[in-house]
Amino acid sequence: MTLEELEAFLLSLGVKSYRAKQIWSWIYQRHVTDFASMSDLSKDLRSRLEDLASIGTLAPHSAMSSTTDRSVKFLFHLDDGLQIESVLIPERHRMTVCISTQVGCALKCRFCATGQMGFRRDLASWEIVEQVLAAEEYMANAEQEGMRRISNVVLMGMGEPLLNYDQTLRAVRVINHDHALRIGARKITVSTAGIVPAIDRLAGEGLQVKLAISLNAATDDLRTWLMPINKRHRLSTLIDSAKRFVETTGKRITFEYVLIDGVNDSRADARNLARLVGDIPCKVNLIPYNPHRSTPFQPSSPDRVQAFRQYLLPRCPAVTLRASRGQDIGAACGQLCTDSVKRPRRAGTSRRPAAHRRAAISRPRQKK
């Protein structure tokens, strides 16, 4: 439920709309678990809310910490028994959480573990937001030195965000909202494999979020082989949409390029990439492939990575090389994957344990 929807719901109860901001503050900033704890609301209103509404719940089933870089991979069991993963990435000057927008993914990119598990369902906006809240709660309870508040959110986990457009945008607005998580739009990055109509739609939203396009090849034949979505949105169409996004928003775009040994890391590949994006206000983010058991690929050698990078540097506006984070726990780029099998609930267990964190108010229940 958005803030406006909550305001409308409260007005229908004869309650002043400003109470919605108070409720949001309790849920998103004070991390309360039930309406009864919202002490600046009247007892009568708290009782009515308990009767008429509920607050969605999602909490990590497990958290696995990297021994090399302090990244943390969270596994969530959803209400229907499916599973998702997200990753907390501590860095020197920022704390990033990489979150999922779908259970699995339908795009079947050859190099991506999530793509190999197939698509199960879209996540609701509250399930997306809760991954950020869960990471904040973990940091609040962690004893690791340097843990602090989430500063950046990247929608680069499981799934294609722009194929779950409406719920993704609802989540982004909550993450950014002053009465919710208060993370600046410029600190939020939406990643896409290249859903052209949705890129154009996002450009017109008036948000200041960043856009990253997972490119990975600079010719249609190779990109179609790696990423079947290219059959629907060819490179010329995708690049045109990227240019429109830059023109409409005034924001530089990021092109992500996973370097796979012997597949897309040759001098010719670098030359094709420079020709394709060199005149666009952009950053090319090179990502050495992170291997996993569901594909036969291997990362490019350090020498080939550097040769590729050196060729691009004078020919593209900006070129970066992403350091692999969380690879030892299967949390690096392209490695997120669960078995996504529905698990029966044990008799006597609660659907939404009271001890778990609440993330978002669900649709109001009907009065009995």
Sequential DSSP letters for 99-145: --SEEE-SS--TT-HHHHT-EEEEPPHHHHHHHHHHHHHHHHH--ST
Mean pLDDT of 100-128: 92
CA pair distance 188, 165, nearest whole angstrom: 15
The neighbouring-strand residues paired with 287 are 258
Which CA distances in Å does 23 have to 26, 32, 59, 113? 5, 10, 20, 39
Q: Which has more pLDDT, 138 or 311?
A: 311
The neighbouring-strand residues paired with 86 are 74
pLDDT tens digit string along 317-326? 999 998 766 5
Which residue ranges form the domains of the chain, and what is each CATH number?
Answer: 57-329 (3.20.20.70)
pLDDT tens digit string along 59-73? 788 888 877 877 899
Mean pLDDT of 225-254: 98
Cβ(176)–Cβ(183) under 8 Å?
yes
Residue 30 pLDDT > 80: yes
Mean pLDDT of 209-215: 98
Highest mean pLDDT among 51-55, 83-87, 196-200: 196-200
Q: What is the pLDDT of residue 344?
A: 36
Which residues are CB-neighbours of 77 under 8 A, at least 6 positions away?
A: 61, 83, 343
Binding site residue list for [4Fe-4S] cluster: 105, 109, 112
Of all residues in the chain, what percent carry a pLDDT higher than 90? 70
- Confidence class of residue 153 from pLDDT cuts 50, 70 and 90? very high
Backbone φ and ψ of 196, nearest 5°:
-55, -50
- Confidence class of residue 327 from pLDDT cuts 50, 70 and 90? low
Cβ(74)–Cβ(134) under 8 Å?
yes
Residue 121 pLDDT > 50: yes
Buried b (16+ CB within 10 A) or exposed e, 83-121: bbbbbbbbeeeebbbbbbbbbbbebebbbbbbbbbebbe
- Token code pair at residue 154: 């990247």
What is the secondary structure of 280-336 as a DSSP string?
Answer: SSEEEEEEE----TTS---BPPHHHHHHHHHHHTTTSS-EEEPPP-SGGGT-STT--
Q: Which of 114-123, 153-162, 301-310, 347-356 has the lowest mean pLDDT?
A: 347-356
Q: What is the pLDDT of residue 358?
A: 37
- Confidence class of residue 365 from pLDDT cuts 50, 70 and 90? very low
Q: What is the pLDDT of residue 347?
A: 33
Residue 355 pLDDT > 80: no
Binding site residue list: 105, 109, 112, 159-160, 191, 214-216, 290
Residue 145 pLDDT > 80: no
Q: What is the pLDDT of residue 340?
A: 47
Q: What is the pLDDT of residue 144?
A: 52
Catalytic residue numbers read 85, 333
Q: What is the pLDDT of residue 353?
A: 29
- Token code pair at residue 252: 């530089």
Buried b (16+ CB within 10 A) or exposed e, 41-74: beeebbebbeebbbbbbbbbeeebbbeebbbbbb
Binding site residue list for S-adenosyl-L-methionine: 159-160, 191, 214-216, 290
Question: Half-sphere exposure (CA, 13 Å, Cβ side) for 297?
Answer: 25
Q: What is the pLDDT of residue 140?
A: 82
The neighbouring-strand residues paired with 89 are 96
Mean pLDDT of 86-100: 90
- Confidence class of residue 357 from pLDDT cuts 50, 70 and 90? very low
Residue 107 pLDDT > 70: yes
Residue 143 CB: number of other CB atoms within 10 A? 5
CB burial class (10 A; 0-12, 13-18, 19+) of residue 162? buried
Q: What is the pLDDT of residue 143?
A: 57
Q: What is the pLDDT of residue 98?
A: 94
Residue 180 pLDDT > 90: yes
H helices of the chain, in order, are 3-12, 19-24, 43-52, 113-116, 125-141, 165-176, 196-203, 220-226, 235-249, 267-277, 302-312
Mean pLDDT of 233-241: 98
The dihedral over CA atoms of 322, 324, 325, 331, expressed in degrees to the nearest 10, equals 120
> What value does the mean pLDDT of the chain take?
87
